[in-house]
Structure 1
Amino acid sequence: MFGRVWALVVKELLAVLRDRKSRTVLIMPPLLQLTLFSFAATLDVKAVDLAVLDQDGGAAAVELAQRFVGAPYFARVHHLSGLGQAAPELENERVMAVLVLPQDFSRDVAAGRPATAQVLLDGRRSNTSQIVQGYIQAVVDGYNADLCARRGQPGPPARLVVRAWFNPSLDYMWFTVPNLIGMLSMVVGLLVTSLSVARERELGTFDQILVTPLSPREILAGKTIPAMLLGMAEGLLIVAAAIVLFRIPFRGSFPVLLLAQFLFLLSVVGVGLFISSLCKTQQQAILGTFTFMIPSMLLSGFATPIETMPEFLQLVSHANPLRYFLVAVRGVLLKGMPPGMVLEVLWPLVPIAVVTLALASWLFRRRLG
């Protein structure tokens, strides 16, 4: 039995690796996507354009406006001459926010009275607006602290000290790249398995496999093992690129990462075989792969936290293998998560793999009958 399965495994590997197009698809797109998404798929708000309307012109107002010019959060600070220019700047998305300093701003500051300033934000991008509002508040707080120090007045009674764990520099790439390891590994595992049976049917060689002594289980094993090997190799290549090219720290255990990737690919391969058993052509298999892949990415917690989703989607996400692997790969790389904690996160992948492989085997036998 092992010899027959191994012969089919070698045949599948040769069919993929000898084809120049298949080799290119397995290597170049994942690396290109890793590079592209690492720089483009970011939720960081940087280089924001800000407009300042100084209706006062006094020393205090000018000093505060100059603080925004020198702040690292803002790329360009536009100075407006009238309130009528504020709305067009926001409507045409030339700026993200408009700071309005009223006429009595410097007078109130000089008299020691509370001075007010108005911030107009583009609410069409609510998350970005909240972040920009925090940036503006930070600049104003710094101005207030310096003003109190110059006048010998006590500063605010409480001060917030922020310390970021596992990512001290708050580099969003440290979050994006580990997630891409899981997503790109899933793409390779799904494509290789979903195209395997469909390719045989499209080329007319599937009937030749059926007349061999191979049983349906042996055929499934021969289709599963090459996808696992290629997926593991692709995942290790992406991990190496993440560490060497993007300087992502690796604080955990390499065997633990291999175990996590193996369990993840085992559950993904079952889904790919299920799709492959349903499809008759490679085009249908590719469409089926992307039909499963896009919801999996959305429900994995990569783009938005799972806790913010509706309850029924949170329940659906429990069947998503990518959800568990992303937590594990981030924990191993950034936190050095010990093996026990990784297994606590990954154990749902075992029943998911059992169910998906069983369904793929059942459907494969039914299609043969």
Structure 2
Amino acid sequence: MLKQCRAIMERELFYMWRDKSLRHILLIGPLLGMLLFAGVYSYQRLGDISTGVVDLDKSSASRQVVTELKNTQNLQVVAYFDSFAELEESIKRGEVIVGVVIPDNYGQDVALQRQTKVAVMIDGMNMAYATNASSAVLTITRTLGAQVGIQTLIAQGIQANQAQEAYQSIAFPEEAWFNPTLNYAYFMVLGLALNVWQQCLTLASCMTVIGENGLRSWLQIKVSGISSFKLFFCKSLVHIGVFMLAVLPLYFLAFVVFKLPLACGWPGLLLFTFLFTITLHSLGTMMSSLGRNAVNASRYGMIIALPAFVISGYTWPLEAMPHWLQSAAWVLPQTWFFQGVNYLTFKNPGWGFMSHYYLALGLMAVLFYSVAALRLILSDVSPKGGLM
């Protein structure tokens, strides 16, 4: 029995290595994805967002506003305009992302303690830019508001230190946990690279059953007396082992070369990844057993693999999706994996929290393999590759 299993596994390794397209997909595809995404997010966070200014007041108070804009970390004043129309046209052409219009009599209104408004326009076409720009502008408004308030109190005869204490009596210090620098690379690079890996894994898994479509090889297997269960069990062991080997270079680049955070340590991450690999292979095997040919099986797998990352809640919160879509997302193993990887790498919440992630993936694997086995029992694999 052991000799038969060894022969099957050697045969499967030979076929996988001989298939150049599959070999390149598994070995090169995920690595290229990792390097590509690491390059895209190499700056780690957005800064120097181009900003245009229209100063209609040209007073010392308005110049103070411009100075605050220049001193803000995420903004860079790149242009000055004489009118709102010029600023609007520049934003339309994508030359500036943020536009600031300081109105007439701004300095006078501030001096007389009258309410005044500084118009801020943000190009919302790119949400990453818009979110960072809004945060930077909010910081400026808080600073300027406090300065004007302190000056007002001083003008009313209050001592400077007392005026400053009045505006600093309640502080709201911000502290980002688990990703203190709000680094985009920490959050996006690994997830996007693993998405490429899981798509490659799904594509290869969809050939587990339907791939046995060669007349000569199938007749040889039948003559040898090897059972279908033993054949596909040994094939699955090889596939899962190869898939795990394919993810190791990704993790090495992510956590050793690019220094991404890994709170749970290597054993926890590899164990969770191993379980997901089994589960996703079981899903691909089920698709393979249901497909009438290799093309259909691949299509079934890709229909699931391509949108699975989008609705997994990794890049957009699940809570912000429609309820029916949230329910559908938790049926897919990718949702459990990407959510779990996020927790493990950033927080490591412990076994008590992660146990239901392991349990869900394990139950899915049992279910998908059971469906595939039932399909094989009810149908014979034809010499031409279809399921009768």
Corresponding residue for residue 78 of structure 1: 79
Q: How many Å separate the matches in 2 of 1:77 and 1:142?
A: 22
Corresponding residue for residue 59 of structure 2: 58
Q: 1:244 to 1:24 in 2, by over 3 A?
A: same
Q: 1:30 to 1:146 in 2, by over 3 A?
A: same
Q: 1:141 to 1:258 in 2, by over 3 A?
A: same
Corresponding residue for residue 385 of structure 2: none
Corresponding residue for residue 9 of structure 1: 9
Give 1:350's match in structure 2, choosing from 345, 358, 362: 362
Q: How many Å separate the matches in 2 of 1:156 and 1:114?
A: 22
SS in structure 1 opposite 2:206? helix
Which residue type is aligned with residue 48 of structure 1?
I
SS in structure 1 opposite 2:100? strand
SS in structure 2 opposite 1:106? helix
Aligned residues: 369
Q: How many Å separate the matches in 1 of 2:225 and 2:92?
A: 70
Q: Is structure 2 residue 322 aligned with structure 1 residue 310?
A: yes
Q: 1:200 to 1:41 in 2, by over 3 A?
A: farther
Give 2:276's match in structure 1, choosing from 258, 264, 267: 264
Q: How many Å separate the matches in 2 of 1:126 and 1:24?
A: 35
SS in structure 1 opposite 2:170? coil
Q: How many Å separate the matches in 2 of 1:50 and 1:202?
A: 63
Deviations for 1:100-121, whole angstroms, at most 9, x for unmatched residues?
1101111122334343211123
Return the TM-score normalized by structure 1.
0.89
RMSD: 2.8
Corresponding residue for residue 114 of structure 2: 113
Q: How many Å separate the matches in 2 of 1:3 and 1:216?
A: 16
Q: How many Å separate the matches in 2 of 1:203 and 1:117?
A: 77
Q: How many Å separate the matches in 2 of 1:177 and 1:129?
A: 21
Matches within 5 A, 1:318-329: 318-329=330-341
Which residue type is aligned with residue 136 of structure 1?
V
Corresponding residue for residue 227 of structure 1: 239
Which residue type is aligned with residue 30 of structure 2?
P
| Aligned-pair identity (%) | 23
Matches within 5 A, 1:234-249: 234-249=246-261
Q: How many Å separate the matches in 2 of 1:232 and 1:134?
A: 41
Q: How many Å separate the matches in 2 of 1:182 and 1:90?
A: 36
Runs of 5+ consecutive residues of structure 1 not aligned to the other structure: none
The answer to whether the 8 Å contact 1:191/1:272 transfers is: yes
Corresponding residue for residue 101 of structure 2: 100
SS in structure 1 opposite 2:312? coil
Q: Is structure 2 residue 49 aligned with structure 1 residue 36?
A: no
Deviations for 1:278-322, whole angstroms, at most 9, x for unmatched residues?
446555444333221112111111221111110111111111111
Matches within 5 A, 1:142-161: 142-146=143-147, 152=160, 153-154=163-164, 155=167, 157-161=169-173
Runs of 5+ consecutive residues of structure 2 not aligned to the other structure: 155-159, 382-387
Q: 1:168 to 1:203 in 2, by over 3 A?
A: farther
Corresponding residue for residue 25 of structure 2: 25
Corresponding residue for residue 307 of structure 2: 295
Q: 1:7 to 1:240 in 2, by over 3 A?
A: same
**Structure of larger gyration radius:** 2
Q: How many Å separate the matches in 2 of 1:114 and 1:301?
A: 43
SS in structure 1 opposite 2:207? helix
